Each structure stands twice: as structure tokens, then as C-alpha cells.
Amino acid sequence: MRKIKWNIIYGMLITCAFFLLLLVRLEFFQKNEAEDIKISTPYQPQDIWMNIYQNNQKIGFVHRTFTRKDERFLFNENVLMNINTMGLNQAINILTEGELNPDMTLSSFNFNLSSGIFRFNARGHVVKDKLILFTGLPDALEKSEIHLKDIPHISGSIYDAAFYADLEKEKTGAFNIFDPSTMSIRSIKVTRNADEIILIMGKRVLTKKYCTDFMGVQNCAWLDKEGNILKETGLLGISMERTSKEKAMEGSTYGKGIDFTQLVSIPSNVKITDPQKINVIKINISGINDSLFLNGDRQSYHQNTLTIIKENVLPISKSGLKIPSHAASFLNPSPFIQSNHQQIKTQLEKIITHSDTDDQKAKKIIDWVYRNIEKKPILSVPNALEVLKNKSGDCNEHSVLTVALLRAAGIPAQVEAGLVYLRGRFYYHAWCVLYLDNWITADSVFNQFPADVTHIRLVRGDSDKQLNLIGVIGKMKLEVLEIIR
């Protein structure tokens, strides 16, 4: 297998360091000059390096090794880079290793991400029609399963799959990929474009050019005749290019680069004061797609106009909350929201009392998270247990811990993500929504219950749902039409 590439950098999604992982797919480079291309499966060990750039400024590198074991392939990929979020430069290290089947589909993997004091691990393997997963902290791994119709490729192997399938020029193929950072399987389209000659490491090389379309976001890669990726470009000015080990290792620190948070934010056409005192806001939205959840509960969407009405939180009687079937499933734990873990339950007992009504419990939980979790940009895959342990994080960490505590308290809750107004711009942000006879928004970063109407919900659900934001980053435009106080 020939492989290198970052899986559609979805990006350090945004605000609060909202992050949809930079996964790199590594390819193997050999010193071949321009000549006819033919399919060949590599059989010798590979050891390759690539520099990572943001708008032509180096922000990190990738090192990947690849070996063949019988009919299968073993890979090890190490990504080290600095990312600027909210003005803070952060080092992030992503290590992925695993085994692929002869057709480049996934057999097993082990994924580790570390950023400062935060770390995340996911490992898994395919057994017949199931992908068995273990996620979370090493001492608190959660087991889950994904039923498979077809065995997917891991997110970094798309160009390998297209090359292996011998995709013809101007033809498009569809592939399924598994993303370790969100534990989800999605479809991606790959088109082979016209061949191009590019300059790499001082040499002109004839390449096959492939471009992927993932939820409306395009990445392109240039492969040599052996299927090795020489260059790749993608979202938010990120690119990768083959280099030598010496060039990749030059310097232990890199420039700050462009602030991702600022880069993907959207300017407001009006200055909004005292958002919490607004009862209704109407906004014209363009540059969106059908994957977003704009219409429902406090939001209504019609002909490009979104209307958001602030909710009222009504007292819940002592007899308790009546939970309908459509909300009951949001009491259950998930791999990143471990609401049934004893540490979550123990902390909850310190926050609420048994005599509290459900609305009182909700207010206490939101206030506790606001006061006890340090507000700090984090590049990680947020999970409630680690947030509780480290007591710091951005909006993602605040929201997953709040949801876990609410669920442990018997209150259905989900994560919401979208945009929020702050100092003249709309920034990507995450908060939560909880069920108290109706779905009510809450933001433990700002200690708002309900959240103000400048919180524009775009998606609701776990990290796999948040992937739907990818298709609108850099495309969405907003115009505030009316504010009613």
C-alpha cells in the first residue's frame, strides 16, 4: 500500500478550538522520474516524511513507515504539529498504527492523540460484519460496536483505494471511510483528474491527480507511478509535501500560523449588545447544505431566514420529569459521554441534592461546570471523564461534561454545535440542550440557561453529527435582519 495523507483536515474545527482532527494518510515516496503509470502493490518496507504547511508556513511534519506481512500491510504514522487556536499555539501529536487487508480495507488500528495534559485513545478490529471499538482513557476504555455492511477503509487510505482500484481519468468512485476521531463511517467520493507534472524535491514528476469530495469539501493529491502521494492540498490553507527526514526534523518549534478560530469565524453586519436580553432574532443564512439541523424546537427556518426564539424555563414539579420515548435514549452513556461511570456519579452527588427538582438540578450542574472547569483552548477529542479529571477545556469539553452530568442526574441531554456571537463576529461553538418537558438550550461556558438567541444551532448530537459542519466552513454567510428585545 502506498499511503500518506491527512484525512481531510476537518479542521481544528473552530472556535473554542473546535476540532475535527487532522488525520494524515501517509504515502510512500520513491525517486521515480516521469514515466508511464502502472499499478503495483509495494512489497518493500517504506519510510517517508512530509512537511505540513498552513498557507505556505510550516506548522509540522508527518513520518510514516509501512511494511508487508504476508498478504497484509502494517503501518505506523506519527504526526507532530503546532496549531493556533484563539491566539494560543498548541503542540499536538497523533499516532496511528494498524493493519490493513490486501484490498486496503481496515483490519485493526490503534489511535492515540495527545495535546498537553489531554490524551485520547481508540483501538479496534474488524470481526466479520462488526467493528469492535475501545475508546477513552487507558484505565477507562469504553467498548462499542459498529455493524458493517462493507468493511471500510481507514480515513487515511482513500487515495490508496482509488489507486488500487485503477480509477480511470475523469471517473469518480465512492468509498466508505472510518474516522477514529469521531468513531463514524462516512462515504467519500474520489475523482481522478488529468495527469499533471509537478516539481517535488527539485525533480519533475508525472503524477496522477485525485480529488476527494467529502461533504462538499475538496482535497486534492498528486501520486507518482507507484501510488506514492507527493503533494496534497486541502481545507483552510493546509497542505503537505514530501521532503527528506532532515528537512522534516528541522526546528523543534514552528510559527504560530493563522488562528483557526478567527479564520473560520463569520463577520456580523450589526453590533449586538446584551444578547441575553434579546427575545427573538431573525437571520438570513446562505452557503449551507441539507445536512444541517436548522429547523426545530426554538429555531424555525424558511426561505433562507432563520428565526430563533428564547425559551422559558418552567419549574418542574416535585413528582419529577416525565420523559417521552423520543428523549429517553439521551439518558444513555456513549463512548465520549460516560454518564454511567462512578466518577461522574460521585461528582454529581456533590453538586445536587435528592430534594432538588429537575430544573434545579440542571441549573446547579451548569453553574458548577461554569465555575470549576477552566476555560482554555484544547486540541483533543473531548470526553467527559478526562474533562472531569483535568478540569479545563474549551466549549467542547464543557459541553460533554455538562451532558454527562445531566444524563447521570436523569435529565436527557445532547451536545449542540453551531455559531455564537462575540465581539462583532459569529464563532463556531458547542453547548448543550436538555429535556425539561421541552428541549432547552444551555451553555456552561457562559453560564446561560437558557442560552441566548445568538447561539445558532447547526447540528445536534455526538461527534459524528458534528462532522456535518465540515461542508459549510468558509462558505456560510450571515445577515442579521431583526432583533426583538
Instruction: Kindly tell me if the per-residue pLDDT of 25 is higher than 60.
Output: no
350-407 tens-digit pLDDT = 999 989 999 999 999 999 999 999 988 777 778 899 899 989 888 999 999 999 999 9
Closest CA to 268 of 53, 55, 19, 476: 476
Strand bridging mode 413-422 / 425-435: antiparallel
The grid coordinates of residue 184 equal 463514524
Residue 253, pLDDT score: 53
More confident residue, 55 or 157: 55
**How many whole angstroms separate alpha carbon 466 and alpha carbon 477?**
19
What is the average pLDDT across 137-158? 78
pLDDT category at 140 given cuts 50, 70, 90 is: low
The grid coordinates of residue 257 equal 500560523
185-237 tens-digit pLDDT = 888 899 999 999 999 988 999 999 999 888 778 889 998 888 878 899 887 78
Model-level pTM? 0.79
55-80 tens-digit pLDDT = 888 888 999 887 888 888 888 889 88
Lowest mean pLDDT among 87-91, 288-292, 444-448: 87-91
What is the average pLDDT across 319-337? 87
Q: Residues 234, 97, 10, CA angle at the centre, nearest 5°? A: 25
Q: Where do we find the cell 429555531?
A: 299
Neighbour tally for 451: CB within 10 Å: 29
Instruction: Kindly tell me if the per-residue pLDDT of 121 is higher than 70.
Output: yes
Instruction: Kindly tell me if the per-residue pLDDT of 8 is higher than 70.
Output: no
H helix or E strand, kind and range, residue 243 = strand 238-243
Domains of the chain, residue spans: 4-256, 265-484
**How many whole angstroms separate alpha carbon 259 and alpha carbon 237?**
12
Domain 265-484 architecture:
Roll (3.10)
31-44 tens-digit pLDDT = 333 333 333 444 45
